Amino acid sequence: MAKARDTKTKTRIQREKTEEILAAALDIFSSAGFRGASINEISKRAGMSTPSLLYYFQSKEHIHRELLSRTLLVWLGPLNLMKDSDDPVEEICTYVRRKLEISEQFPRESRLFANEILMGIPRAEQSQFDPLRSIFDAKIALIESWVRDGRIAPVDPHHLMYSIWATTQHYADFESQIKELSPEKMGTLFRDAETHLVAMYRTMLVPNGPEASE
């Protein structure tokens, strides 16, 4: 029998059940990783029996693949929006802001992505990252052109991108640590992080020379 997720048109109830399963699985995968999750645990979290869940998804692998595809779309959004600009420093700072918004609004998705990188991407799912590779390469080339034209300070585009990812995703991936170490910061955490990180990257990126003074 065809799975509900494979049908062209789902009923409202089928759509709702699919989203309930994915939400439950996201909770578990983002905290326990793929290897630490089980189909029985996911079905219990979703409030349904395992046979009922298997009507919608054939296996834990199929649920995980769907979540990873969705997470990559979220991840690629801010990167896709980075474009050539008359003010490349501000364009990169805008990217930093968007990445922080992702960490604030989608912390579980960020942790899911981080878990996959840390544990190693299964060979069967490596092709899912092809869009990220192609877009990443294009943005690296864009940043290289800004450096070459003297529009931003000389930086290594790869390390710039990795540092932006590390500093912005930290607020989602290590949320429990921040709550433990800096509980007084939680109320304004992302607003303060934006102020700090944008100032830091702007200082790093503004080129030396007369055009840099404003």
- What is the full DSSP assignment across 131-163? HHHHHHHHHHHHHHHHHHTTSS----HHHHHHH
Q: Is the pLDDT of residue 153 over 80?
A: yes
2-23 confidence digits (pLDDT tens): 455 454 577 888 889 999 999 9
Q: Is the pLDDT of residue 210 over 50?
A: no
At a CB cut-off of 8 Å and minimum separation 6, what does 56 contact? 3, 4, 5, 14, 17, 18, 21
- For residues 177 and 213, the model is more confident at 177
For the chain, which domains are there?
A: 4-58 (1.10.10.60), 67-208 (1.10.357.10)
Q: Which pTM does this prediction carry? A: 0.80
**Cα 38 to Cα 18: distance, rounded to the nearest angstrom:** 17
50-67 confidence digits (pLDDT tens): 999 999 999 998 998 898
Predicted local distance difference test score (pLDDT) of residue 51: 94
Q: Is the pLDDT of residue 181 over 70?
A: yes
Percent of the chain with pLDDT strictly greater than 70: 87
**Residue 204 in 3-state DSSP?**
helix
Q: What is the mean pLDDT of residues 130-134?
A: 83
**Cα 48 to Cα 211: distance, rounded to the nearest angstrom:** 62
Q: Other C-beta atoms within 10 Å of 159: how many? A: 9
